[in-house]
Chain A
Amino acid sequence: DGGITQSPKYLFRKEGQNVTLSCEQNLNHDAMYWYRQDPGQGLRLIYYSQIVNDFQKGDIAEGYSVSREKKESFPLTVTSAQKNPTAFYLCASSIDRSRADTQYFGPGTRLTVL
Chain B
Amino acid sequence: ILNVEQSPQSLHVQEGDSTNFTCSFPSSNFYALHWYRWETAKSPEALFVMTLNGDEKKKGRISATLNTKEGYSYLYIKGSQPEDSATYLCAWPMDSSYKLIFGSGTRLLVRP
Whether B105 lies near A105 (C-beta < 8 A) is no
Decide if B46 touches A104 in the complex (CB within 8 Å). yes
- Answer whether residue B42 sits at the interface, using C-beta atoms and an 8 A cutoff: yes
A37-57 vs B, Cβ < 8 Å mask (1 yes, 0 no): 000111111001010000010
Q: A100-B31, A102-B49 are in contact. Are A45 and B43 (CB under 8 A)?
A: no
A103 within 8 A of B: yes
- B100 on the interface (CB 8 Å rule)? yes
Given A102-B34, A102-B46 in contact, is the A43-B102 Cβ separation under 8 Å?
A: yes
What's the minimum C-beta distance from A15 to chain B, rounded to whole angstroms? 28
Question: Do A48 and B98 touch across chains, with their CB atoms under 8 A apart?
Answer: yes
A84 within 8 A of B: no
Q: How many residues of B contact A (CB 8 A)?
A: 24
Please, how many angstroms separate the alpha-carbon atoms of A50 and B96 in the complex?
A: 12
**In contact, B102 and A58 (Cβ under 8 angstroms):** no
A106 to B102, CA, bound (A): 16
A100 contacts B44, C-beta separation under 8 Å: no
- Do A100 and B49 have beta carbons less than 8 Å apart? yes
Residues from chain A with Cβ under 8 Å of B42 in the complex: 107
Q: Which of B74-111 contact A (CB under 8 A)?
A: 89, 91, 93, 96-105
Q: How far is the CA of A29 from the CA of B23 in the complex (A)?
A: 28
Is A90 positioned at the interface, with any CB of B under 8 Å from its CB? yes
Q: Can you name 25 A-B residue pairings with CB atoms under 8 Å?
A: A40-B104, A42-B89, A42-B101, A42-B104, A42-B105, A43-B91, A43-B102, A45-B100, A48-B99, A50-B98, A90-B44, A97-B98, A99-B31, A99-B98, A100-B31, A100-B49, A100-B51, A102-B34, A102-B46, A103-B34, A103-B46, A104-B43, A105-B43, A105-B44, A106-B43
Enumerate chain B interface residues (CB-CB to A < 8 A). Answer: 4, 31-32, 34, 42-46, 49, 51, 89, 91, 93, 96-105
Closest 6 CB pairs of A and B: A99-B93, A42-B102, A100-B32, A105-B43, A43-B102, A102-B46
